[in-house]
Chain A
Amino acid sequence: MIAELGHFSLIVALGLSILASIYPLYGASVGNQSMMRMARPLTFGVFGMLLLSFIVLCWAFYTNDFTVTYVASNSNSLLPWYYRITAVWGAHEGSLLLWVLIQATWAAAVAMFSRGMPLESVSRVLAVMGMISVGFLLFIIVTSNPFLRTLPFFPVDGRDLNPLLQDPGLIIHPPMLYMGYVGFSVAFAFAIASLMTGRLDTAWARWSRPWTIAAWSFLTLGIALGSWWAYYELGWGGWWFWDPVENASFMPWLAGTALMHSLSVTEKRGTFKAWTVLLAISAFSLSLLGTFLVRSGVLVSVHAFASDPARGMFILGFLVVVIGGSLLLYALRGGQIRARGNYSLFSRENLLLANNLLLVAGLLVVLIGTLLPLIHKQIGLGSVSIGVPFFNTLFTWLMIPFAFILGIGPMVRWKRDNISNITKPMIISAAITLPFSFLAIMLFTDSMEPMAILGLVMAVWIVVMHGFELYQRATHRHTFMKGLGKLGRSHWAMMLGHIGLAVSVIGMTLVSNYDIERDVRLAPGETIQVQGYDFNFAGLRDADGPNYDGYIADFNITRNGKHETTLHAEKRFYTTAGSMMTEAAIDSGVTRDLYVAMGERLDDGAWAVRIYFKPFVNWIWFGSVLMALGGVMAISDKRYRFRKKAKVGNAKAAKQAEVN
């Protein structure tokens, strides 16, 4: 009965979102106030119904209702309650429900926090978001309904959640990632709505900026969490594999990063409008493409739950409608967009454009690397795979000009500047950066890796140039300390974001050049030395969990005879799912991680053991957190707080934009 309630509210949500995508839009085009006013209540209605439906599904999992097919195939009565709840989004149907719920949440948030916007724009934006939820709700109801029953012959117990997904990382990784993916639908809706009217003014950019930044921050965190999860859960010690599924989330991130920066130019300078709209369309289209790639079964991975061809065809069709429709609209209306600003060759606009292009080039690299094997196979040339070095080489080359421009960009003035104005800071920064990087590598590592020096130079260059910029900006009118206090939040946001990137780059560089991965054969009692640490395999003991049989291997780690830490690497056999899992043991530190994972049992009691030394690996995720914090800072900047007095605010905001 309760499951039917969820099913019913899902259908009501579909009905409401169909209304939400028609009435306000029609009202806006004929100027009917009462129809436009329906946009907000309808959006809240869709959100409420979906929330109810989601809670019902959670309840079905919580109470082990195995008469529901989806619960029976993804849960088990032995599963702890918190994993039973997260199992809701552990497979295809439930994760789509989460997707559409989050989309409705964003729409409701737009409806709530858009009081300062003209009613006409709000209703158009909400109508576009309504259309997106119509598409996804249809998809859920037609091809992947989580509320189907197994009756009359229901199983006594469920088939258990995929053991890889029984992990705290999974509790937050998918919701975060979806918040990011779906968040770009807001920027997309804003872009489409303004294309419909043909009015692309700076107000439009100012409205969609905070939403884009919020989505981007969530996506950043989501990707970082996914990478961290892969690092400790898959047991290979890698943090990025250029796996198609990772690429699917990385592409919207690249487009979103470009969009975020191009929006700032559109808001402050009134140029790049057409480009910004195109980026907004691509960011969301790539999110959809990611969903298609991951969910359709075209790719095989831990994320590809189902390979039902009907689902793939549906998403493909949806993709064609959304991307094709929005690009058609862009082609029809894009010509009317007129940029008003003008700027010279050396200006902040152009530097931002250059880095936008580099981001898009990176995006194309990932897109080609991900789709080429699929195309290659479809046109009958046989299956191929594209190796990791392909991505690494190209990203290294793209990163060099990117980091250089990122360093100087903030120091260059809008509209027009002279290179001579920044030669002094550049020379000084280079004089700090180059020797520092060389010395750091020479003193603290055993071998001089050119790639490590290059990476460090790029990161330090960004940090030093930003330090310089901060100093210049702060001492412009005040003393240093006083000026520092006067800086706006959005300035600090930029600092955090850029320095976060530098921190991540340091982590990636050092861990990819200096990590030590040793796969060894060890029997209990034996010791092996890696990078000055002695790993002593003390022994094995039993450790069974609620739904698995497991055992733990203890490792005593000493350095120069002094006890450093004890690590407990686990091996688990999940009885219901019938699969073996490795739980790595990690000793985390600021400058290094020690990583032990058990491989297979060999004869005569010995084990294959992975013993890894990972320098600076945590910096990668710490940098991502800094970037996301930067996003939070940017949204909290006071110029985005919408007020009733929008008309007065417009003039004021324009003034503020000049100041910034």
Chain B
Amino acid sequence: MNPRRKKRLTLVLALVLGLGATIGLMLYALNQNMDLFYTPTELVQGKPDGTKPEVGQRLRIGGMVVVGSVQRDPQSLIVRFDVADVGPAVTIKYDGILPDLFREGQGIVAQGVLIDATTIEAHEVLAKHDEEYMPPEVAEAMKKTHEPLQYSEEQMQGSVQ
């Protein structure tokens, strides 16, 4: 092999190795970090193609917070609430501060781990950004039942205290 070809060969080999390593790493990282989205109905009854998440799986869920379902622990920040779309509700457990725009009856998206068939331990809860925004996935799942919500009396009082 002449030196010119040798140089090219090393370059090509390096490129192939580098590219391979990057793609391999990327696939591995993707596998670990891809979270599927479910609506509460899909979580309970399975997606149209019949897949249901397993306990311990990371996932995202989106739905409306069921009115009257928010329960707070008096000692800590742990909060439990139910979300539902058009079918059954599932429970979300969260330890932390809920976003400013979290309200009962409001659309939210939570990201977390399924701890039993209908309970999710969330590590992130997202609410809409402003009056017009609703998580698009939720909007799609519940086009029929959505009605815009206002601040409750209590929340209004909180702001003028």
Q: Contact at A599–B98, with CB atoms within 8 Å?
A: yes
Q: Which residues of A are found within 8 Å of B151, using beta-carbon distances?
A: 578
| CB-based nearest A residue for B76 | A521
7 closest A-B pairs by CB: A599-B97, A573-B159, A387-B33, A390-B33, A383-B37, A580-B100, A608-B97
Whether the Cβ atoms of B98 and A300 lie closer than 8 Å is no
Question: Interface readout for A332-349 with B: 1 if CB under 8 Å, 0 if not?
Answer: 000000000000110000
A260 → chain B, closest Cβ, in Å?
Answer: 22
Number of interface residues of A (CB under 8 A): 52
A390 touches B32 (CB 8 A): yes
CB distance from A277 to the nearest CB of B (A): 20
Q: Tally the A-B contacts, defined by beta carbons under 8 Å.
A: 118
CB-CB under 8 A from A383, the residues of chain B are 36-37, 60, 137
- Shortest CB-to-CB span from A410 to chain B, Å, is 22
- Name the residue of chain A whose CB is nearest to the CB of B129: A302
- For A361, list chain B residues within 8 Å (CB): 18, 22
User: What A residues does B11 contact at CB under 8 A?
Assistant: 345
Pairwise interchain contact B161-A345, C-beta atoms closer than 8 A: no
Say yes or no: A389 contacts B32, CB within 8 Å: yes
Within 8 A of A (CB), among B72-116: 72, 74-77, 95-98, 100-102, 111
- Report if A162-B130 is in contact (Cβ < 8 Å); known contacts: A345-B10, A385-B60, A389-B32: yes
**Interface of chain B, helix or strand or loop or mixed?**
mixed
Q: Which of A385, A397, A519 contacts B96 (CB 8 A)?
A: A519
A residues within 8 A CB of B47? 382
Most B CB contacts (10 A, CB to CB) among A368, A385, A397 go to A385
In the assembly, what is the distance between CA of A360 and CA of B136, in Å? 31
Which of A538-579 touch B at CB < 8 Å?
540, 542, 549-551, 571-573, 577-579
B139–chain A nearest beta-carbon distance, Å = 9
Q: Within 8 Å of chain A (Cβ to Cβ): is B30? A: yes
Chain B residue at minimal CB-CB distance from A390 = B33
A361 to B25, CA, bound (A): 12
Are the C-beta atoms of A581 and B100 separated by less than 8 Å? yes
> Residue of A at shortest CB range from B140?
A383
| Minimal Cβ-Cβ distance residue in A for B133 | A300
**Bound Cα distance from A397 to B30, whole angstroms:** 14
Whether A582 contacts B135 by the Cβ 8 Å rule is: no
Question: Which residues 176-201 in A have Cβ within 8 Å of B in the complex?
Answer: none
Q: CB of A448 within 8 A of chain B?
A: no
B153 proximity list for chain A (CB < 8 A): none
User: B68 an interface residue at 8 Å Cβ cutoff?
Assistant: no
How many positions in chain B have a CB within 8 Å of any CB in the partner chain?
47
Query: Contact between B130 and A519 (Cβ–Cβ < 8 Å)?
Result: no
Chain A residues within CB distance 8 Å of chain B: 162, 164, 235, 300-302, 344-345, 357, 361, 364-365, 368, 372, 382-390, 393-394, 397-398, 519-521, 540, 542, 549-551, 571-573, 577-582, 599-603, 608-610
Q: Is the CB of B161 within 8 A of A540?
A: yes
Q: List 10 A-B contacts (CB under 8 A).
A: A164-B130, A345-B10, A382-B37, A383-B137, A393-B25, A393-B29, A393-B32, A550-B159, A572-B159, A599-B97
Contact of B159 among A301, A386, A388, A571 (CB under 8 A): A571
Q: What chain B residues lie within 8 Å of A388 (beta carbons)? A: 33
Residues of B close to A382: CB separation below 8 A: 36-37, 47
Q: Least Cβ distance of B132 to chain A in Å?
A: 10
* B26 adjacent to chain A (CB < 8 Å): yes
Query: Is B50 part of the binding interface, using a Cβ–Cβ cutoff of 8 Å?
Result: no
Closest partner residue, chain B, to A606 (CB atom)? B74
Contacts of A162 in B (CB 8 A): 129-130
Is residue B7 contacting chain A, with contact meaning CB distance below 8 A? yes
**CB proximity of B128 to chain A, nearest CB, Å:** 9
Given contacts A389-B29, A394-B26, could you give 12 more A-B pairs where the C-beta distance is less than 8 Å?
A162-B129, A300-B129, A372-B30, A382-B47, A387-B32, A390-B33, A519-B95, A550-B159, A573-B156, A579-B101, A600-B102, A601-B158
